[in-house]
Chain A
């Protein structure tokens, strides 16, 4: 019955000490649509990357039709009839649909010449058979996202793949496009294909999946047949029942902050190209002594909003104010001059320079005293650096390149630098990614200290425990819009935030 089995898969990321998969068992049956659901970082994508040969497990085995297979590269995966549509499409934008589909397995005439007509014929027959609506001779870069996705799926069919993996296929699609995708997927299973659908949208799971496996913290928490679980139960399985994670959360109610505003966004929007806006009319403000939490599932605008508030990305519309002063589209240089502190989510590439030394990483924000008349004051720098190493217990030689440090120490380096800035406004994005729980607790303490000193904190986090444990006011993003503004007055639950996150509820 089981067509493909993954047994006891374990994958540990040494770089940032994350156990992405821990003894995971997964089973795919023929002709089924199997949904793999879970929060960001639950280990879904890692598991599928292992199946597709993009990553190697530390432990575990994979069986296909009962015999063990070794998948060391996508090449091997292709050989075993496993295909994957990545969240970011791997299409060649300048080529036509047909060219993309046949790429690598081209039909040839007299050995060498490309047989375009035959290629387009084959593509058209796949199209007719499964009801795709793509012109084989259309150039991919002029296509809509939905069409591009169809091309990716058609490519797997052209290659006769039996197992199809789709990573968050609906995150970029509109309602109608989703409907037609699901229609196609159903048709494919009837034609003998088996499909794995990675998603975090519960509505989808319930409407299409034959079975669903829930992952949480690197483990599979259970596999259920359709009808066995309802939306509420699934949501509890995904987020866990143990909501009370933080001891002593100092929560206040929203109205207290009316009046003075440190930082404010008015109708901020970002549009790019033909797809729906990345951000749509975002309004939010941060007052002194307030932690404003912003959350949302991946692909709903969290990262874009982070780029906007940190000055790294220009707006298509709207305004940004700092103490009432219009600072829309100021460069990050100006943002830094205003004294903002900012701990970015991408701490490896944006928040630090891995080739530069630990010391060089700590002094990028020029405090007084680091240099005089342009000449570096090494005594001051050294004493600053050694103070920070002590204060944050960073274990590393200040003159060594940062990439030689452990992931946790790199994280602490970023925090040490940003927290040393004297400011009344600080942005944290995913502050505990890659930290162990003790270090995480320390960061939470720091964030609360900032709030208690009357500073404004803007917190971006996809971790609901974190949001509920820290934020006074919670904004939930869905499809680039604010789906809900919720006061964290003690009665707020993960489930409620979750329903906004999953788009089950939207306040207008």
Chain B
């Protein structure tokens, strides 16, 4: 590794750290302004996730869907494609997984669970692939179309959860519980953390392998970096639009499916809400590196867990997390911040 490469890594590391640090500061200020008992609120916000097995396990569990969605976004990003339909895709994946589990009671756990996951991720993948298809076929902006399709799907899924598949015996707006044979084993009782986290970690490794160790990932990356060069090199550029979208949707679907099998054991109205947007933030912080997605997802899970802890003990609302998340979004892509750090470093050296 030579000096320049080191410098690039250091600059992006400090840049990300600066934005994340500023966001935590922003969180503290926000809580001070909003809470009538600011000191305990800030304390719980920052330390809450580490105070008990329950909070800690829940934090790790909350990172699982974010890893999946973050991977999905990174994958599409590598091809310079923007999948904005994560919210709908993960929700759809969750519902289809639930419905298949409910429909196949006679299967044993493993095979049934796998079938359900496959169906859920396939449905989400096809939903995403539609945006890619519209782009290739008629040059319809895939960013906007993926958002719009997903928004429509969110309402559609709401309809099924609260209507067609609603559990009439429950007061929740939800489907019935799936059979306990499909549950993934829990790891840290009483928290919701389950073996799904291993699938998420495995997923990150697989996506890493796909992107960096296969011809397919290589060609896709080339299309994303410089389509003219890829075309000149003989790569069929248009084939790297629909497929990345499909895989991106697939990952979102898996995120939804694992949330059902590992954590919720049913589909509840709006239960995946925010996981799609979270995935975009995670991918941006990770600079689209599949392995970087893991710590980035943990950071967001920490924000969420912190605000949950603060909410339980004080008068702070959970949505503080969303505001802090938005704050990260605001600044994370700034070229100026990163080049500022580069200049500062140079002047110090």
Cβ B234 vs Cβ A333 within 8 A:
yes
CB of B77 to closest CB in A, whole Å: 13
Cβ B215 vs Cβ A344 within 8 A:
no
Known contacts A371-B215, A404-B4; A356/B234 CB under 8 A: no
Cβ B218 vs Cβ A360 within 8 A:
yes
CA distance A58 to B5 in the complex (A): 29
Q: Which of B218-273 contact A (CB under 8 A)?
A: 218, 221-222, 225-226, 228-236
Cβ A364 vs Cβ B222 within 8 A:
yes
CA distance A473 to B225 in the complex (A): 38
CA distance A335 to B1 in the complex (A): 37
CA distance A312 to B222 in the complex (A): 17
Known contacts A371-B215, A375-B214, A400-B2; A356/B233 CB under 8 A: no
Q: Is A506 an interface residue (CB 8 A)?
A: no
Interface extent on B, as a size class?
Answer: 20 to 34
Cβ A376 vs Cβ B231 within 8 A:
no
CB of B304 to closest CB in A, whole Å: 33
Cβ B226 vs Cβ A312 within 8 A:
no
Determine the residue in chain A with the shortest Cβ distance to B236: A333
Name which of A3-11, A242-250, A346-354, A443-451 contacts chain B: A346-354
Q: Is A137 an interface residue (CB 8 A)?
A: no
Q: Is B216 an interface residue (CB 8 A)?
A: yes
A45-70 CB mask vs B (1 if < 8 Å, else 0) is: 00000000000000000000000000
Cβ B229 vs Cβ A364 within 8 A:
yes
Known contacts A335-B234, A337-B234, A365-B233; A356/B225 CB under 8 A: yes
Known contacts A363-B218, A374-B216, A376-B218; A312/B5 CB under 8 A: no
Cβ A356 vs Cβ B222 within 8 A:
yes
CA distance A360 to B235 in the complex (A): 13
- Grouping DSSP codes into helix (H, G, I), strand (E, B) and loop, the A interface class, with mixed when no group exceeds half, is loop
Q: Is A332 an interface residue (CB 8 A)?
A: yes
Q: Is B213 an interface residue (CB 8 A)?
A: yes
Cβ A344 vs Cβ B225 within 8 A:
no
Most buried by A among B221, B225, B234, B235: B234
Cβ A400 vs Cβ B232 within 8 A:
no
Q: Is A182 an interface residue (CB 8 A)?
A: no
Cβ B5 vs Cβ A332 within 8 A:
no
Cβ A397 vs Cβ B2 within 8 A:
yes
The interface residues of chain B lying within 8 Å CB-to-CB of A180 are none
CB of A277 to closest CB in B, whole Å: 24
A354-386 CB mask vs B (1 if < 8 Å, else 0) is: 111000100111100011001110100000000
The interface residues of chain A lying within 8 Å CB-to-CB of B215 are 366, 370-371, 374-376
CA distance A355 to B1 in the complex (A): 17
The interface residues of chain B lying within 8 Å CB-to-CB of A371 are 214-215
- Partner of B225 from the list A312, A342, A355 (CB cut-off 8 Å) is A355
CB of B27 to closest CB in A, whole Å: 34
Q: Is A310 an interface residue (CB 8 A)?
A: yes
Most buried by A among B213, B215, B216, B229: B229
A-B CB contacts (within 8 Å), total count: 76
Q: Is A72 an interface residue (CB 8 A)?
A: no
- Partner of A365 from the list B214, B221, B226, B234 (CB cut-off 8 Å) is B234
Cβ B5 vs Cβ A397 within 8 A:
yes
Known contacts A371-B214, A397-B5, A400-B4; A352/B234 CB under 8 A: no
CB of B10 to closest CB in A, whole Å: 15
Cβ A351 vs Cβ B232 within 8 A:
yes
Known contacts A312-B232, A333-B234; A400/B5 CB under 8 A: yes
CA distance A414 to B222 in the complex (A): 15
Q: Is A159 an interface residue (CB 8 A)?
A: no
The interface residues of chain B lying within 8 Å CB-to-CB of A349 are 226, 228-229
Cβ A356 vs Cβ B221 within 8 A:
yes
Determine the residue in chain B with the shortest Cβ distance to A370: B215
- Partner of A353 from the list B1, B2, B225, B236 (CB cut-off 8 Å) is B225
Cβ B229 vs Cβ A350 within 8 A:
yes
Known contacts A375-B213, A376-B214; A350/B221 CB under 8 A: no
CB of A339 to closest CB in B, whole Å: 10
Q: Is A303 an interface residue (CB 8 A)?
A: no
The interface residues of chain A lying within 8 Å CB-to-CB of B225 are 353, 355-356
Cβ A353 vs Cβ B214 within 8 A:
no
CA distance A363 to B231 in the complex (A): 14
The interface residues of chain B lying within 8 Å CB-to-CB of A365 are 233-234
CA distance A379 to B152 in the complex (A): 48
A98-138 CB mask vs B (1 if < 8 Å, else 0) is: 00000000000000000000000000000000000000000
CB of A427 to closest CB in B, whole Å: 11
Cβ A364 vs Cβ B213 within 8 A:
no
Q: Is A336 an interface residue (CB 8 A)?
A: yes
CA distance A331 to B239 in the complex (A): 14
Q: Which of A242-288 contact B (CB under 8 A)?
A: none
Determine the residue in chain B with the shortest Cβ distance to A366: B215
The interface residues of chain A lying within 8 Å CB-to-CB of B5 are 397, 399-400, 404
CA distance A371 to B217 in the complex (A): 12
The interface residues of chain A lying within 8 Å CB-to-CB of B222 are 353, 356, 360, 364
Determine the residue in chain B with the shortest Cβ distance to A372: B215
The interface residues of chain B lying within 8 Å CB-to-CB of A335 are 234
Which 5 residue pairs are nearest across A and B when measured between Cβ atoms?
A336-B234, A364-B233, A353-B226, A371-B215, A353-B229
Interface residues of A (CB under 8 A from B): 310, 312, 331-333, 335-337, 342, 344, 349-356, 360, 363-366, 370-371, 374-376, 378, 397, 399-400, 404
Q: List 19 A-B contacts (CB under 8 A).
A: A312-B231, A312-B232, A336-B234, A353-B222, A353-B226, A353-B229, A353-B230, A355-B225, A356-B221, A356-B222, A356-B226, A360-B222, A364-B230, A364-B235, A374-B214, A376-B213, A400-B2, A400-B4, A400-B5
